Amino acid sequence: MKKNELYPVFLKLHELNVLIVGAGNVGYEKLSFMLKSSPNARVIVVAEEFSEEVRVLAEEHGVPLLHRPYTTNVLHKKHLVIAATNDPEVNKQICEDARERNILVNVADTPELCDLYLGGIVTKGNVKIAISTNGKSPTMAKRLRQLFEEIIPDDIDELVENLNQYRSTLRENFENKVEKLNHITKSFINKS
Ligand SMILES: C[C@@]1(CC(=O)O)c2cc3[nH]c(cc4nc(cc5[nH]c(cc(n2)[C@H]1CCC(=O)O)[C@@](C)(CC(=O)O)[C@@H]5CCC(=O)O)C(CC(=O)O)=C4CCC(=O)O)c(CCC(=O)O)c3CC(=O)O
Ligand SMILES: NC(=O)C1=CN([C@@H]2O[C@H](COP(=O)(O)OP(=O)(O)OC[C@H]3O[C@@H](n4cnc5c(N)ncnc54)[C@H](O)[C@@H]3O)[C@@H](O)[C@H]2O)C=CC1
């Protein structure tokens, strides 16, 4: 079986500079998933035209909109760029410009021009699960997201908060601490 080699990370988008180029259907989809998971993301959107949906969402979250065609100066100080224009040449150019500057780039829906893929995301309070099918089936990533949203108990966050409190009371060495935490969480996986 071929394995998924991608390495998942959890980015602090409220501390990184993110750029989305293009504000049509795809730009909206990427912006809305991003803000759903990271409502304080430091993101700006550059496009020649903005859909009404993008305008409304940007207004709600205080996301700046730059009404202009893409030029390389918008890459200045960016950490992550998502290209979502409907012009494949422009998307390719954005990818090349970003790579030249060591900026991570995602060209929406063009896997070969991506340094990273966006994934399905499940959030329950402090708990977050990211899902990838290695680009094979975004629809399955969506379905798995829906499945986990349903089966992960809503009180998981309470449990995590309690464990966090208990963890901070343990003043032992690392090994004993791990042993205790493993012990009291054992039933969580044996239950079902
Ligand atoms: C590689 C990747 C790159 C990237 O965009 O990051 C990519 C690529 C492509 N998507 C395409 C289409 C669709 N994408 C979705 C949905 C999502 N796509 C997302 C991620 C990714 N999509 C990355 C891989 C993720 C992984 O590893 O699984 C999700 C998870 C996250 C997000 O978008 O934020 C989000 C679900 C979020 C949720 O609901 O939780 C749906 C379903 C729907 O909307 O109902 C469809 C229509 C059905 C279909 O075509 O399958 C096409 C064909 C376009 C065309 O035909 O032109 C390509 C190109 C190709 O595969 O070659
Ligand atoms: N949604 C769809 O039906 C399909 C989409 N795609 C792909 O999805 C991507 C985008 O599609 P949509 O969002 O539906 O397009 P769209 O037409 O809804 O939006 C395109 C956006 O890109 C902006 N744009 C175009 N050239 C620009 C430039 N030079 N500088 C700045 N902004 C620019 C436009 O102003 C607009 O905001 C493309 O990669 C396209 O090839 C592919 C097949 C079908």
Cα–Cα distance, 133 to 120 (Å, whole number): 9
Report residues whose beta carbon is within 6 angstroms of any ligand 1 atom.
Answer: 29-30, 33, 106, 108-109, 111, 114, 117-120, 132-135, 138-139, 141-142, 145
Among 19, 21, 26, 45, residue to substitute to test ligand 2 (most atoms within 8 Å of Cβ): 26
pLDDT at 55: 98
CB contact at 8 A, 28 and 54: yes
89 lines ligand 2 (CB under 6 A): no
Rounded distance from Cα 147 to ligand 1 centre (Å): 17
**Residue whose CA is at the smallest distance from ligand 1 atom 54:** 109
Q: Within 10 A of 93 (CB to CB), how many other CB atoms are there?
A: 16
Q: Is the dihedral of CA 22, 23, 24, 30 positive or negative?
A: positive
pLDDT at 192: 47
Rounded distance from Cα 68 to ligand 1 centre (Å): 27
DSSP string, 160-177: HHHHHHHHHH--S-HHHH
Ligand nearest to the CA of 92: 2
pLDDT at 191: 55
Q: 85: exposed, middle or buried (C-beta count within 10 Å: 0-12, 13-18, 19+)?
A: buried
pLDDT at 42: 98
pLDDT at 184: 86
Amino acid at site 181: L
H-helix or E-strand spanning residue 53: helix 52-61
| Nearest alpha-carbon partner for 68 in 120, 23, 110, 134 | 23
25 lines ligand 2 (CB under 6 A): yes
Domain boundaries, the chain: 1-117, 119-152, 158-190
CB contact at 8 A, 122 and 141: no
Tens digit of pLDDT at every position of the chain (192 positions): 889 999 999 999 999 999 999 999 999 999 999 999 999 999 999 999 999 999 999 999 999 999 999 999 999 999 999 999 999 999 999 999 999 999 999 999 899 999 999 999 999 999 999 999 999 999 999 999 999 999 998 888 888 888 999 888 988 788 888 998 999 888 877 754
Domain 1-117, what architecture?
3-Layer(aba) Sandwich (3.40)
pLDDT at 159: 87
